[in-house]
């Protein structure tokens, strides 16, 4: 019997408005065959679509600073009982663009599957040790509660030791699986043009094998639907990006308002 499938995302603070969650839900609905639940762990569920199940982010005993830095709240998805959710989960950061089918990401081998965000990601081939990234990762709900329980017992110890949650995850769970490199593209490494060229040419569209594009840092997806200069000097681009505007509009966003 096929186990249930759950897409998880997390929204806290004001950096990502509700439209990010709603666009991600609609994009996932188009990219996943058959039923699944879409869950947002959040401190504010205002504006979310009815199809989005919203629950509070579980408390980890973090300081205000560590709550906002390092992605540590994401560890709460490994709880023994996360609001009664069961099955295979795919956690997706809100600054992610869905480009292809996601069914294979639920069935990819490995207990926990993550992005290789090290030098291999930039080079497009496996040549050095892999470095875990949790912009999109798959796991079985309730299977590894010790990941969050150990952290919650000594949060300051692990914050000081690992700095960010994805380094903690790789340090404490060394048997991670990694997505095939073509599946997850980096906007910075694979779509953005070289310094100077971005002011003349738009970013490259996603390759056929790309399932998702990760926007780690700046710019963020919403920046590419707005006029003007985006990015951080010297890696900047100019104006609206056609394929990003089309994506945003296709999945319910409003490029003129958002």
Note the pLDDT of residue 217. 86
| pLDDT of amino acid 235 | 93
Res 25: pLDDT: 98
pLDDT of residue 68: 75
pLDDT, tens digit, 9 for 90 and up, residues 203-258: 999 999 999 999 988 999 999 999 999 999 999 999 999 999 999 999 999 999 98
Instruction: Kindly state the percentage of the chain with pLDDT values over 70.
Output: 100
Q: Is 2 exposed, middle or buried (0-12, 13-18, 19+ CB in 10 A)?
A: exposed
Tell me how crowded residue 19 is: count the other CB atoms within 10 A of its CB: 19
Average pLDDT over residues 109-131: 90
Q: What's the pLDDT at 183?
A: 97
Burial of 21 (0-12, 13-18, 19+ CB in 10 A): buried
pTM of the predicted protein model: 0.95
pLDDT digits (tens, 9 = 90+) for 122-174: 888 888 889 999 999 999 999 999 999 999 999 999 999 998 999 999 999 98
Rg of the chain over CA atoms, in angstroms? 18
């Amino acid at each position: 019997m096929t186990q249930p499938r759950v897409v998880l995302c997390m929204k806290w603070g004001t950096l990502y408005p509700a439209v990010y969650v709603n666009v991600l839900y609609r994009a996932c609905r188009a990219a996943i065959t058959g039923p699944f639940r879409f869950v947002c762990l959040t401190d504010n569920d205002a504006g979310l679509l009815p199809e989005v199940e919203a629950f509070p982010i579980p408390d980890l005993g973090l300081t205000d600073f560590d709550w906002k830095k390092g992605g540590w709240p994401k560890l709460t998805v490994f709880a023994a009982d996360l609001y009664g959710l069961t099955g295979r989960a795919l956690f997706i950061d809100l600054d992610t663009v869905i480009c292809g089918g996601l069914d294979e990401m639920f069935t990819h081998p490995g207990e926990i599957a993550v992005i290789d965000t090290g030098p291999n990601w930039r080079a497009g081939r496996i040549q050095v040790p892999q470095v875990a990234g949790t912009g999109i990762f798959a796991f079985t709900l309730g299977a590894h509660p010790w990941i969050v329980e150990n952290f919650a017992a000594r949060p300051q110890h692990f914050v000081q030791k690992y700095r960010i949650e994805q380094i903690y995850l790789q340090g404490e769970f060394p048997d991670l699986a990694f997505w095939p490199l073509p599946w997850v593209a980096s906007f910075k490494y694979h779509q953005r043009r070289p310094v100077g060229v971005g002011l003349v040419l738009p970013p490259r569209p996603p390759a056929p094998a790309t399932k998702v594009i990760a926007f780690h840092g700046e710019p963020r997806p919403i920046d590419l639907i707005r006029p003007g200069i985006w990015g951080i000097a010297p890696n900047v681009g100019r104006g609206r990006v056609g394929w990003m505007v089309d994506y945003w509009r296709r999945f319910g966003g409003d490029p003129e308002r958002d």
